[in-house]
Amino acid sequence: MIKLLTSERIKTERDVNLLKIKIITVGKLKEKYLVQGINEYLKRLQSYAKVEIIEVSDEKAPENLSEAEMLQVKGKEGERILAKISDQDHVFVLAINGKQFSSEDFSKEIEQLGIHGKSQLAFVIGGSLGLSDEVLKRSQQQMSFGKLTYPHQLMRLVLVEQIYRGFRIMRGEPYHK
């Protein structure tokens, strides 16, 4: 079985001051190549932030759903997601109609949140049907990686890479453009 890295390190004074980031996703990640890529970026991120990936189970559903059944599935997955979000979390949801950021603007956004005392961020990636209205309402920001549709499993890797890139940009460290 392939396991994602966790942040179970001995706490140091430096760790206490690190930004805490949760990536809350629907479903289990099974693809070895995606797990390896995500683990590589999680390892690189350890000196910038404490990142935790939280997987909530997806709701089993038949192939052809009615509108009511889709809402019910999104609602149940939404309840699981909301249970993982704390009152202190500044929540970004990935949504196709959300705001599109350049990597530099995304970096500035994370930096500004830290400056304004937001030390806990949560990024939410919904399941194959998207996110419930309740999860969307709980978010402070909706962000998009463009009008293309990506598998939600692949979005984990893309998101972790962009968070890493954002920290590199924030610190003025070299990173390819």
Residue 40 φ then ψ, to 5°: -60, -45
Record the tokens describing residue 26, joined without a space. Answer: 């629907």
- Binding-site residues for S-adenosyl-L-methionine, in ranges, read 94, 126, 145-150
**Helices 152-170 + 103-115 axis angle, to 10:** 70
Residue count of the chain, please give it. Answer: 177
Annotated binding site: 94, 126, 145-150
Q: Give the amino acid at 135.
A: V
Q: What is the CA radius of gyration of the chain?
A: 16
Ranges of beta strands (E only) in the chain are 19-26, 49-56, 90-100, 120-125, 141-144
